[in-house]
Amino acid sequence: MNRKDNKAVIFDMDGVIIDTENIWKQAEEEVFSSLGVKVSEAYTKITQSMTTAEVTQFWYEKFPWQQTSLQEVEQRVVSRVVELIQSETCLIKGVKVFIERLKSENYKIGLATNSPYAIIPIVLEKLKITHLFDTVSSAEFEKNGKPDPAIYITTAKKLGVKPKNCFVIEDSYSGMLAAKNAGMSVAAFTNGNRNVTFEIADCSINSFEEDKVTIIIQFLR
């Protein structure tokens, strides 16, 4: 039971393995503004932790538009995000080497994201890390996205690992709450912003270029 292949590290995607915060903001503003939505900074902070379907529903309720279905609008956002990911520099330093180190320690590697499934292969291909993941999961296929724990419970089942033997790396409170409610240990990834603290986390990772693999090993003993 102590073998490392019975233990796993699960990564969130946006803000953890790829820096897409500004990309989502740009896509959201472009698409919804074109429909007459008055996109504001205050509201975009609220939508940051939502699934794309939830974001679309959120803006529709604030500024209802005509003729275009919510599904079509959601797809426009996703398509624009894909375009921007493919064309923009949005890498997070050290993430590939970090995951390779975990693989060398024989941990299973998973991905659990609120983003639509279609975006996952685009991100992994851009980072050239597709081969490092044992499974990937999108909240698109869950009844509720994070902070609901379903996405993490699903990912653990797909990996064949008990939740208590999973370590999650997240950058948002809602994601951390989802992981904790799934019965997992969680690290807050700050990406160098040392002013960010999440008391709910078991530990923090400021940069993947720091040697934090040993901390994960300690939690998964």
The residues annotated as belonging to the active site are 12, 14
Nearest by Cα to 144 from 100, 177, 108, 192: 177
106: left (phi > 0), else alpha (psi -120 to 50), else beta? Answer: left
State the Cα–Cα distance between residues 191 and 201, nearest whole angstrom: 15
| Cα–Cα–Cα angle for 156, 158, 160, rounded to 5 degrees | 65
Residue reference for tokens 């994201």: 113
